[in-house]
Amino acid sequence: MEVPELMASKVNTGDVVARMREIHGALDSFAQTKRTTAAGEVADGAGRTETWVASSDARLDKRQVSALRDGEVAVQGEGHAETTLLDAAVAAGKRLRTIAASWSICEDCAKKLLQAGVQILTKIR
């Protein structure tokens, strides 16, 4: 299984940040201040990529799910949105390549993400 690197270089990191903002923006303005939305580019062994999206809530709000497009996947899980994405990718045998979050990423999450080789596209706390 070689392929991945060339495919991976096609990832448009600007899209991940823009989509994270749009999907976070599907929440009402109060929820936007209370929850974190994270989006990341996830690649499988063949280099196929999807954008996975998670919330600091256990699941995305239904308005956020409605805002998802083809190739975007809602991920569920307890805890910080960033580690929910990372853990889900690892559990699926896939690689989280990039991540963008609607709020500055905490030190614990940043450490885990960097150790896993994830490119962090937004601010770290």
Contacting residues toward Zn ion, per CB under 5 A: 80, 106, 109
Q: CA-CA distance, 82 to 55, in Å (whole number)? A: 8
For residue 20, the minimal CB distance to Zn ion (Å) is: 15
DSSP one-letter code for 102: S
- CB of 18 vs Zn ion, minimal distance in Å: 22
d(CA 125, CA 58): 22
Question: Closer to Zn ion at the Cβ: 96 or 109?
Answer: 109
Nearest position to Zn ion, beta carbon? 109
Query: How far out from the chain centre does Cα 17 lie?
Result: 9
For tokens 């929440």, the residue is: 27
Q: Could you tell me the smallest distance in angstroms from the CB atom of residue 120 to Zn ion?
A: 11
Nearer to Zn ion, 47 or 118 (CB): 118
